[in-house]
Amino acid sequence: MPCAHRPDGARVGDNGGVDVYADLAAEEEQLAALLDALPPEDWRAPSRCAGWTVTDVVLHLAQCEEAVVGAVTGGTAYAPVDWTRLGNTVETAMDAYVETERADAQSVRRRWESARVAALGALRAADPKRKVQWVTNLLRPTTLATTRLAEHWAHALDIAEPLGRDHPDTARLRHILWLAHATLPYACAVDGRAAPVVRIEATGPVGEHWAISPEDADVVLSGGAGELCRIGARRLDPAASSVTASGPGGAEVLSLLRTFAV
């Protein structure tokens, strides 16, 4: 579950003037279109998430969007979730949460639709300066919206790819790259090492050039935005990608790239 930390100063417009709320809505709409095209049997098919069907993945997203509302509003619509009571790690907690609330595909789809609308509304209405508790971190609303975009993108791949469905990359990957870059200090700390200064040089889906961090960085990660984002979401082994990592410890830094917390 992507739920990582981004710098406290993040705001709408920090990412090249792009509204992350509008892009979160667009990412969710792309997933909705994918779900609309699925026949009933595909909802029962295995996803790329071990032990989860397509329906389970959508249920997980619904649960997390409800948790967003609880975190942002303090329980006005949904009570904040105490993740620690569900498991010792984020992954085990998510598995347990899905296990306790499995339901039929139609019910799960309606639940996700309702929850995503409520979550986006809560995020838009929130005080942009007030941090809220999200799993292991205190995040500003724009930061939390970015993590939600990253998670919807990653789980859409978990649904589409095993079913042979197309789910094309978009310019919204820029948000996910930014998140992955800003999360590197967290990832390095979890691994017990100091974080070097890292620059990302990425090529977008239609040839855009995106650069993050200074030109004199210690480590430079270069490659396609889609591959970099998939590495960060643990959907692609760095060794199987065309991404390059230059500078001291570059390969280790690339292996730590992530868009989620543990």
Q: Around Cβ 55, how many Cβ atoms within 10 Å? A: 24
Q: Are 213 and 200 in contact (CB under 8 A)?
A: yes
Could you report the per-residue pLDDT of 9-25, keeping only the tens digit for each? 333 334 444 699 999 99
Amino acid identity of 73?
A: T
- Computed over every residue of the chain, the mean pLDDT equals 90
**Straight-line distance from the first to the last Cα atom of the chain, in angstroms, rounded to the nearest whole number:** 9
Per-residue pLDDT at 10: 35
Q: Which are the contacts of 57, defined by CB distance < 8 A and separation ≥ 6?
A: 47, 49, 155, 158, 159
Place of tokens 């919204």: 172
∠ CA 144-146-151 to the nearest 5 degrees?
Answer: 95
Per-residue pLDDT at 8: 32
Residue 81 DSSP class: P
Amino acid identity of 67?
A: A
Per-residue pLDDT at 2: 36
198: helix, strand or coil:
strand
Place of tokens 């570059």: 250
Per-residue pLDDT at 77: 75
pTM of the predicted model as reported, rounded to 2 decimal places: 0.90
Residue 71 has pLDDT above 70, yes or no: yes
Q: How far apart are CA 108 and CA 102, in angstroms?
A: 8
Q: Are 254 and 248 in contact (CB under 8 A)?
A: no
Burial of 194 (0-12, 13-18, 19+ CB in 10 A): exposed
Q: How far apart are CA 155 and CA 152, in angstroms?
A: 5
Q: Are 215 and 185 in contact (CB under 8 A)?
A: no
Q: Are 142 and 11 in contact (CB under 8 A)?
A: yes
Per-residue pLDDT at 261: 66
Residue 2 DSSP class: -
Number of H helices, E strands in the chain: 10, 6
Complete domains list, the chain, with CATH: 20-163 (1.20.120.450), 173-256 (3.30.1050.10)
Could you report the per-residue pLDDT of 116-145, keeping only the tens digit for each? 999 999 999 999 999 998 887 889 999 999
